[in-house]
Structure formats: C-alpha cells, structure tokens
Amino acid sequence: MVRSSLVLIFLMMAPLLTWGFSLQDISSFKQQALAKNLDQSSAWLKLGHYRKSLSGKYKSPIRGEFFIDQNGANDPKAELLATIDVLFDSKTSISQCKYLARTSWLKNTFDIDSSLLEKCPERAAWKDRLGATEAHLIFAASDLSSAPSSFGHTFLRLHNPKNTGQLDLLDYGINYAANTGTEDGALYAMKGLFGFYPGTYSMLPYHQKIQEYSNLEGRDLWEYKLNLSPAQVEFMIDHLIELDKAYAPYYFVDENCSSQMLELIEAASPNHNLTDKFHDMVIPLDTLKVLNSQGLLLAGKLRTSLQTEWRTRYAQLNFAERAALHSVLTTKSDQSHSYRALSKKEKAETLEAALSYLSIQEYREGKEYNEDKYKLSISRAKLGAITDPVTITPPKSPLLSPSTAAFYLGYGKNDEDDYYQFKYRRGFHDLLSDDSGLAPFSQLNFLTFDLRYAPSEQNWDLYQFVFLSAVSTSPWTQLEKPISWTMEVGTEPKLNPYVNGGVGASFDFPLMKATRWSLFAVSENSFLTNIPQPFLGAKSMFMMKWLDSFCTLFQNEYLYSTVRGEFQWNHLFAGSLSIGTTELRLEAERKDRIDQWGISVVLPTP
C-alpha cells in the first residue's frame, strides 16, 4: 500500500521534475519578442546568417538541418516564433541541445532561470574535453598552384589554455570549405565560381591542419588571437553545433571560407559589423584588415612552413655544397667525392639541408625516410655543433599588404600622342605590388579596366580590359623543377579579345633583396576584327626587389606571327616605388614597333 502511494506521488510530480514551460509562458515569450522586434535585432539576424537584399527582405544562404520554420531562411520573424514554440515546449522532438546558441540567447533575453532549461550532459562533457577559452584566426598565405587557395585561406583554432607552447598543436581547428570531391581542372573552377559546391564546417586536430597547409602545401601560417571573451568563444562553439548538419552554396569569390569566418565571429560578437564591409568579393587579406580595424585581432605570430625552412637553407649553400647535397640525397650516403671535398662546416650545412629536404618529401610523397634520416643524422652528429642556427627572415605581416583594389591615375605618350589614364583594378596584385602577405614574384589580377583620354581626339577609350591575369613563378633548384606559368584573358583596344598563356622555369639569384628570372614558351592569340592573330615565341621576365619599397621588371618577348610570317620584338621596363599605401610607377614599352611610356599613381580604394 505504501509502495503504491509512493509510485502515485512520483507520477504526479514527474512533470515538475522535467524541464519545460507552460503554454502561458511560451505565449508571453512570443509577445515580448514581437513587442521588442527581436526578429530585427542584430544578434538574431546574425544567428540566422540573414542578409538584407536591395528590396529590403531578408534571406539566409544556410540550408540543410538548420531552420525550424519551413520558411525560416526567408523570414526571421517566423523562425524566431517557431524557435520559441519548439525549444520551450518539452513535448516537441527538437531538443535545446541541438540549438545551444539560440537557447542561450533566448535565456539571456527573457532572463530565464538556467534550472528551467533542458540539461545537455553529453554536450557539456564534450565542451569540457575541448576546453577552449580562446579563438585564433589563422591565415594561410596564398598559393597560386591551387585555384581556391590563390587568395589565401582563413580558418580558426580553438585554444585550450592547458596546451601551452608546442602543445597548441593539440588544439582543434575549425575549417569551412567546399565539398568538391575529386573534381579538378576547368570544371572545378567553373562550379566553384557559380556556387555548385556545398560549403560545410569541419573540425580537425590543429596538427592535421598544420600538416595540410604548412608541411604539405608549403604555406606559411599567420596566427592572430581574437579579442573574444571565454563566454563569446563558448557561444561560438554552441553556434557551430547548430551548424553541424547545415551547409551553404560555396562561391570562390564571395561566399567562401573568409566570409563564413566573419559570420561566425559576428554571431559570437553581434555588436561588430564585419560582413557589411564587403559588397562583391571577400578576399582573405581584406577580412584580416577589417577584423584588425575593429579591434578584434590581438597578438599575431608566424608559423613558417617546412618549405620556407628548406628554401632558406638551400639559398645559403654555396655551389659546391649544392652539388654535394644532390649527391647525398641521390646516394643517401656521405661517401661521394663532392661531399668529401667539403670543409667540416660545409659538410654539416649540407647534411642539415638534406634532412630538411627529406622532411618535406615525407609529406609530399606520403612515405617515411626514417632509415635515410637516421643515417644522415648520425653523420651530422659526428661533426659536432659547428653551424649557426638557420635564420629565417620573416615576411612582412599580411596586415601591411597593399589594398587588393586600387585606382591608377596617370599620364603618358603612345607613340606621339598624349594620353591621360584612369585605371581600376578590382583585385588582387601584380608583379610590381608590395608582396607583403603574398607569394613573391607572382601576379593575380582580375576585372581591371584601363580607360584613356586622348586630348587629340577628345574622347575616352577602353584601352584594355583584363578579365584575369596570373603569373606563378617557383624557382628551380638542383632537386626541384616546378613549372612556372602565365595566362591572361581580356580585350585590347576596340574590344578585340585575346588569350595568352605560357609555361616555363624560374631561377633565383642572390642579388639585392631578391631577384628572380623566369623564361616562358608562350602562345599569344588576339582577334583583330574577328580574325585570329596567333603568335608563338618566348618571354623573359627579370624581376628585382631592390628594397622592400622599390622593385623593377625587365620583360622581353620574341614572337613569331604565324599569319604574317614575321618576327616581333616586344620590350617592357617598369618600376614601382611604394610610399605608405601609395605607389608611384613608371612604365616604358615597345610593342609591335610602337613606343609608349607612362607614369602613374596607384591609390588604394577607400
């Protein structure tokens, strides 16, 4: 009898022992939300990744299992009311544990007692193991050998304060990327440009991201601590949980890794408006500068890649050491004549370079060289501590890089005619640009309009439109023979289209700050009055960086016209002097027996 009474009392009290709110409470929350226009609040709009269109309506690109209301992606009010209905009603199948960030925001907004909310022990235990109280933004330098990495890449590192020093490799990285499968080439580029790939978040141990970007791809990483409180970092993690089974169309140009990192940071710190600074393109370098301008970037540090270390060691070797290095790596021993002819210190430097190179090859080839490295390490140890530590000159911070968009104002002469120039470059940089945060001696220009006014004719003319122009130069060594390449698509005067391209090799020389010579076999194809004008030949580019602020370019082309059956010499000299964020440029060119020169001022866009 007593036992039956206890069971009856327990059943009567069971509703009181679980979480949930009455219909009256839920109705009150909805009335408050409507009265305060919470659906228009910055915090709610950023939690839903809503953007306002020109028509004044809101729309979110997020798809998948994210919105509760059927029309939630297009109606922030309907989504808010549906969220209140579902998350505060214990009878629904949707758990607060799936929407931790929304639940936390509603709790603070309506001043709800935490004891009345659903308990999420599994989520809490997972976050405790993660132990993240800080977030760091990671910028991976640009890599022209990979289309989506041409502009650089940003992702996050969630830092556990227990992981001090090198233990920060045990932190976790948050990445947003396109799910491209195994596709590559032109189809891959086109689908990425037009949003045919889904973009999703992923979480991986940070050391795996180091292996991917720094060790395998040879890209330096810049790490910046974000000015977020531990509570904001926890809120960011809660929001990532909400996005677990969601996705959005990925566009290489705007809806990319960097735009999503900004939206994630905005959700954690809704008082900051970051994404509204971008209207057409979102370039990782520009997002760094926006974050820095709003006080969200704190201390930064550089994590150099194995490739940078290897190239630094190789550059410091003399000719005899380089010959011996090739022999050591070919035979995997120190018995060659070229090696034995070296001094003791030169032998040590050669072995250190060999070990550095083998470390890179392990990542590139996916195989281990433990036995070879062990043999060379023994030989190196026998020589003693006789070398100086390798000194890697750190590149300038990407925060100091020039504006990716710029205006050119200039004056010059084309043959005997004067002209005034107004030029606009939407992005990104050319061979004369300050290369802070960029791949040196590279070019990636797109959407460039060159307008010229001729006083003699009193009219403006579109002298040139460049849709895309890229130059990738990687230096040869005795061990590596990477391909350098160049390509350009655009129109010349009178809107005559052209397509140019070439492949070749590049070589570094120990002159001034840095010097590189590139030689290409080229094919240039223009269309004058719809008649193809193909040229075949060679192009030489001699690029010299005299100072951090001053560089020059000497370019020569020797082309053969397959239509006219004649040869053509083209020459170009250009120099650039940077003064703060402004550049002064001088260019002199002879093309198809026509001379022209010009001076211009390059100004960053506001």
Residue 13 lies in a domain: no
Residue 146 clears pLDDT 80, i.e. is over it: no
Question: What's the rounded Cα separation, in Å, for the pair 249 and 244?
Answer: 15
Instruction: Choose one of 119, 153, 169: the last residue of a domain.
Output: 119
In this prediction, residues 263-274 reach a mean pLDDT of: 96
State pLDDT tens for residues 334-375: 888 999 999 999 999 999 999 999 999 998 888 899 999 999
Report residue 1's pLDDT band, with 50, 70 and 90 as the boundaries: very low
Residue 152 clears pLDDT 90, i.e. is over it: no
State pLDDT tens for residues 441-464: 999 999 999 999 999 989 999 999
In this prediction, residues 275-303 reach a mean pLDDT of: 92
DSSP state of 389: P
**Structural domain range at position 320:** 306-383
In this prediction, residues 93-112 reach a mean pLDDT of: 92
Average pLDDT, the chain: 90
Judge if 369 and 423 occupy the same domain: no
Residue 4 clears pLDDT 60, i.e. is over it: no
Residue 160 clears pLDDT 70, i.e. is over it: yes
Judge if 299 and 310 occupy the same domain: no
pLDDT at 517: 98
State pLDDT tens for residues 555-570: 999 999 998 899 999 9
Residue 315 clears pLDDT 60, i.e. is over it: yes
Judge if 313 and 291 occupy the same domain: no
Judge if 477 and 344 occupy the same domain: no
191, containing H or E segment: helix 185-193
pLDDT at 416: 84
Judge if 296 and 321 occupy the same domain: no
Judge if 100 and 187 occupy the same domain: no
Report residue 25's pLDDT band, with 50, 70 and 90 as the boundaries: confident
**Which of 22-26, 306-310, 439-443, 480-484 has the weakest average pLDDT?**
22-26
Do 224 and 139 contact (CB within 8 A), yes or no?
A: yes
Judge if 154 and 284 occupy the same domain: yes
State pLDDT tens for residues 199-253: 999 999 999 999 888 888 888 999 999 999 999 999 999 999 999 999 999 998 8
Judge if 322 and 445 occupy the same domain: no
Sign of torsion over alpha carbons 14, 19, 22, 25: positive
pLDDT at 405: 93
Report residue 500's pLDDT band, with 50, 70 and 90 as the boundaries: very high
pLDDT at 21: 77
In this prediction, residues 405-422 reach a mean pLDDT of: 95
Question: At 496, which CATH number?
Answer: 2.40.160.40
- The 3-class secondary structure across 47-114, one letter per residue, is HCCCEECCCCCEECCCEECCCCCCCCCCCHHHHHHHHHHHHCCCCCCCCCCCCHHHHHHHHHHHCCCH
pLDDT at 184: 66
Judge if 193 and 286 occupy the same domain: yes
Judge if 294 and 312 occupy the same domain: no
Rounded to whole angstroms, what are the CA distances from 167 to 127, 139, 208? 19, 20, 13
Task: Count helices and strands (H / E) in the chain.
Answer: 16, 22
State pLDDT tens for residues 569-600: 999 999 999 998 899 999 999 998 899 999 99
Q: Which two tokens stand for residue 295?
A: 């006080």
Residue 3 lies in a domain: no
Residue 204 lies in a domain: yes
Residue 149 clears pLDDT 80, i.e. is over it: no
pLDDT at 110: 94
In this prediction, residues 88-113 reach a mean pLDDT of: 90
**Which of 55-59, 392-396, 417-421 has the weakest average pLDDT?**
392-396
pLDDT at 5: 40
Residue 395 clears pLDDT 50, i.e. is over it: yes
In total, how many domains does the chain have?
A: 4
pLDDT at 418: 95
Residue 8 lies in a domain: no
Do 585 and 596 contact (CB within 8 A), yes or no?
A: no
In this prediction, residues 509-522 reach a mean pLDDT of: 95
In this prediction, residues 382-409 reach a mean pLDDT of: 90
pLDDT at 187: 73
Report residue 15's pLDDT band, with 50, 70 and 90 as the boundaries: very low
Residue 174 lies in a domain: yes
Judge if 159 and 59 occupy the same domain: no
Pairing mode, strands 58-59 and 417-429? unpaired
pLDDT at 3: 41
pLDDT at 2: 36
Q: What is the pTM of this model?
A: 0.89
Residue 413 lies in a domain: yes
Do 441 and 543 contact (CB within 8 A), yes or no?
A: yes
Strand partners, 28: none
pLDDT at 185: 62
Report residue 527's pLDDT band, with 50, 70 and 90 as the boundaries: confident
Judge if 113 and 142 occupy the same domain: no
Residue 92 lies in a domain: yes
Using only C-alpha atoms, the chain has a radius of gyration, in whole angstroms, of 30
pLDDT at 213: 86
Q: End-to-end CA distance of the chain, in Å?
A: 83
Do 94 and 102 contact (CB within 8 A), yes or no?
A: no
Residue 16 lies in a domain: no
State pLDDT tens for residues 175-200: 999 998 777 666 777 788 888 999 99
Neighbouring CB atoms inside 10 A of 135's CB total 25
Q: Which two tokens stand for residue 154?
A: 């940003």
pLDDT at 148: 59
